[in-house]
Copies of this chain bind each other. A is one copy, B any other.
Amino acid sequence: MESQKPYVIGVDLGGTNTVFGIVDARGQIVAQDAIKTQSYKTAEDFVEAGVACLKPLIDQLGGIEKIAGMGIGAPNGNYYTGSIEYAPNLAWAHDGIVPLSKMFSDQLGGISVKLTNDANAAAMGEMAYGAARGMKNFIVITLGTGVGSGIVVNGQLLYGHDGFAGELGHVIMDRGPKGRTCGCGRTGCLEAYCSATGVARTAREILSSTDRPSLLRDKDIDTIESLDVSIAAGKGDEVANEIFKFTGKMLGEACADFAAFSSPEAFIFFGGLCKAGDLIMKPIEEAYNNSVMKIFRGKAKFLVSGLMNANAAVLGASALGWEE
């Protein structure tokens, strides 16, 4: 019966846009539309708008009976409960628990709706359609405003006992008094160094504590972004490359600890920072092999996402739609 349903819905619920895609079994997005995530006061209004956006796409493909299921990737999405829980950056979900899976399912003829967080959705996407095809043990690390992760073990997403496993942006890299403050309220987290904000902060620290020449000095120091560092590094700027080496060292050393945990076949990096290619990937791999336990040395692959230009988040979330 299931095999007669040729499509799934994948939803990338981001802080700005929510993209709805209808995906076939080969991983092609056959129809797509989007709404603004934050234009709604309540979760009910958001779901109503989402369903209104989806309906025409579903109808043009033959109706809801052609849809096997729906998967949603969302910040603070909990796979076990199907709810978004206290998402700080979502106006209609920041101070409570929104049972989003159930709400969409109720409006869509009772189809199965699964929810997970955005980094886990990216990992699903890599496994089904991207750089992790055929792998059973790998870790996706998303380098964006924050640092997120999706961990796959024995071919399964690692959710842990409460659905919140895989917060690798918040392992502590500096336990000393100089550890950087992190958005999570603690100090020294990986995210405080390797997120886009962390990279910009490293740039400001180096520029303000030295008078070394750098292309980055053309910008107002307070508005430097990680993209500026990428551009300058690409032009051979020494300071920019030092910033990448510092960032790569942090990431490589963190991965060395992750290897001691789950010994993955590959670490797959996703997000704007990866567009710098070897300039960031080489320092990561080098730091890893310099610092990891001997039994792991030289074994792990360091890959850039295979879905950077596709709509990875939609594809990843859609993979959840095929789960029974």
> Could you tell me which A residues sit within 8 Å of B by CB distance?
135-138, 151, 153-154, 156, 158-168, 170-176, 184-186, 253, 256-258, 260-265, 291, 293-296, 299
A161–B176 CA distance with the chains assembled, in angstroms: 33
Contact B162 A263 (CB under 8 A): yes
Contact A257 B164 (CB under 8 A): no
A299–B162 CA distance with the chains assembled, in angstroms: 9
Known interface pairs A156-B154, A184-B294. Does A260 touch B161 (Cβ–Cβ under 8 Å)?
no
A130–B43 CA distance with the chains assembled, in angstroms: 44
Determine which of B170, B185, B257 lies in contact with A171 in the assembled complex, contact meaning CB atoms within 8 Å. Answer: B257
- Chain B residues with Cβ below 8 Å from A299 are 162
Distance in angstroms from A54 CB to nearest chain B CB is 30
Contact A160 B257 (CB under 8 A): no
Residue of B nearest to A173 (CB): B175
A156–B265 CA distance with the chains assembled, in angstroms: 18
Distance in angstroms from A298 CB to nearest chain B CB is 12
Other A-B pairs beyond A153-B153, A261-B262, 12, CB < 8 Å? A151-B261, A153-B156, A154-B154, A161-B265, A162-B263, A164-B295, A165-B261, A165-B262, A171-B260, A172-B256, A257-B257, A261-B261
Contact A175 B172 (CB under 8 A): no
Say what secondary structure dominates the interface of chain A.
loop
Determine which of B138, B162, B176, B253 lies in contact with A176 in the assembled complex, contact meaning CB atoms within 8 Å. Answer: B176
Known interface pairs A184-B294, A186-B293, A293-B167. Does A264 touch B174 (Cβ–Cβ under 8 Å)?
no
Contact B258 A261 (CB under 8 A): yes
Residue of B nearest to A139 (CB): B261
A173–B172 CA distance with the chains assembled, in angstroms: 9
Residue of B nearest to A78 (CB): B295
Contact A260 B170 (CB under 8 A): yes
- Chain B residues with Cβ below 8 Å from A296 are 162, 164
Can you report 6 residue pairs joining A to B where beta carbons are below 8 Å apart?
A135-B161, A137-B161, A163-B263, A170-B260, A170-B293, A261-B262
Distance in angstroms from A250 CB to nearest chain B CB is 10
